[in-house]
Amino acid sequence: MSVHSSRNPESNYGRGDDDIKHDRMETPSPDLQESSHDEFTPTKEKTPSVYSTPPTRRSQSGSHTSFSSRTRKAFNEHYFKMYGTGRHCILTLQNDSNLLHMAHIVRRKSSHEMASSPFCLYEYCLGLKYSDFHHDSRQNLLNLGVEVHYSFDQNYWFFLPDIHVLQDVHDYVKTIISWRESTSSSKAPLSFLTKWKLEKLTQYTLVAVIYTPPISRIEPGQSPITHTYPFPDFPTLVCHIAPPFAVINAGPKCNRDKIGETVRGRFPQPTDESEEFERRLTLLCDTWDLFQGAASAAQAWRVRCSGEQRACKRKREKPDSDQIPMRITRSKSRLNLTGTPSFNALNAQAP
């Protein structure tokens, strides 16, 4: 796939394009309180926002049919700017819109998410504000063919970043958790949006952990090539999804006890490549363990944050009736100060 140009995913909608810089490191933000929203549409705020898709939050449907027309239009425009083509499946490269789904990498509902608050664990471990994980961010959306979308959601396969990206995600999550747990006023780590820009493409390996039907891939100008499980010769995939989201999706799918089996299925004979592949799978599991180990702390953080939100809401919605007695009292005071006769005085003056 050819890459042309893209723009900062968190910039205001309509800004100019920036060149893709794969290894670009931005200046750390002074505050980690940023959002994982994308910039399809502004939020409810009147001022221009860095946020993106309409606020389809935790309560809304996660189906591929739930996207608004505006979200779909902006996502399609983004695909063309990123890849120089219209909509296509990242695996098969097919571009028939009738056979494509907009798929979520981090799904709205799945067995491994926290039952009481689906995304608060991810918010906690990625340094996001509470209730600010935006499900329909373009960093979390990808075009997949109908069949591969089904097998993806059934946990047959996942996207595996290279060893350096995995180490980067692991270290970042570990740093964020330590920062959350710190009682001192330590400097906030590099923010999520600063560290993982949408304009940055990442290389991924297709890893199948359950038998997956053959995948036919049609490279431009070439005849279709059919790849079969466990897909050892499948080409490296290059796409825009945020590596932490790929790890969140892949972590529960990768069974640490079956890493050896997965490696041998892909590499029958030990090689340097097979050893590196095993290290990647192990690091993936280590990173997912960081998320799982922070579950209790994230739950306590959720309770605290939700309580603060309710308190702020009650303060904003405090009824005006609390102020009425004060107005009445001031009115009575003004009457007395201006010498207006009281009721008893009027009775005494009556003939």
Of all helices (H) and strands (E), which one includes residue 311?
A: helix 295-316
Q: Is residue 44 part of a domain?
A: no
What amino acid occupies position 161? P
Query: What is the C-alpha separation between 250 and 253, in angstroms, rounded?
Result: 5
Task: Name the pTM for this structure.
Answer: 0.73
- CB burial of residue 11 (10 Å; 0-12, 13-18, 19+): middle
Residues 6+ apart with CB under 8 A from 152: 103, 144, 158
Q: Is residue 107 part of a domain?
A: no
Q: Does residue 215 register a pLDDT over 90?
A: yes
Q: Is residue 227 part of a domain?
A: yes
Of all helices (H) and strands (E), which one includes residue 225?
A: strand 225-227
Of all helices (H) and strands (E), which one includes residue 303?
A: helix 295-316
**Maximum C-alpha span of the chain:** 119
The pLDDT, as a whole number, for residue 184 is 65
Q: Does residue 31 register a pLDDT over 60?
A: no
Q: Is residue 225 part of a domain?
A: yes
Query: What is the C-alpha separation between 217 and 93, in angstroms, rounded?
Result: 6
Helices (H) and strands (E) in the chain, counts: 11, 7
Model pLDDT for residues 142-176, shown as the tens digit of each residue = 999 999 999 999 999 999 999 999 999 999 999 99
Q: Is residue 218 part of a domain?
A: yes
Q: Is residue 45 part of a domain?
A: no
Alpha carbons within 13 angstroms on the beta-carbon side of residue 255 total: 10
Who has greater pLDDT, 290 or 116? Answer: 290
Query: What is the C-alpha separation between 77 and 79, in angstroms, rounded?
Result: 5
Find out whether 128 and 159 touch, Cβ atoms under 8 Å: no
Count structural domains, the chain.
Answer: 1
The percentage of the chain sitting over the pLDDT mark of 90, rounded to a whole number, equals 46
Who has greater pLDDT, 340 or 17? Answer: 340
Query: What is the C-alpha separation between 293 and 341, in angstroms, rounded?
Result: 74
The pLDDT, as a whole number, for residue 200 is 85
Query: What is the C-alpha separation between 125 and 290, in angstroms, rounded?
Result: 8
Rounded to a whole number of angstroms, the CA Rg of the chain reads 27
Q: Which domain holds residue 231?
A: 113-135+157-313
Q: Is residue 27 part of a domain?
A: no
Who has greater pLDDT, 98 or 28? Answer: 98
Sheet containing 237-239, strands listed edge to edge, beginning at the edge strand earlier in sequence: 157-161, 202-208, 237-239
Q: Is residue 144 part of a domain?
A: no
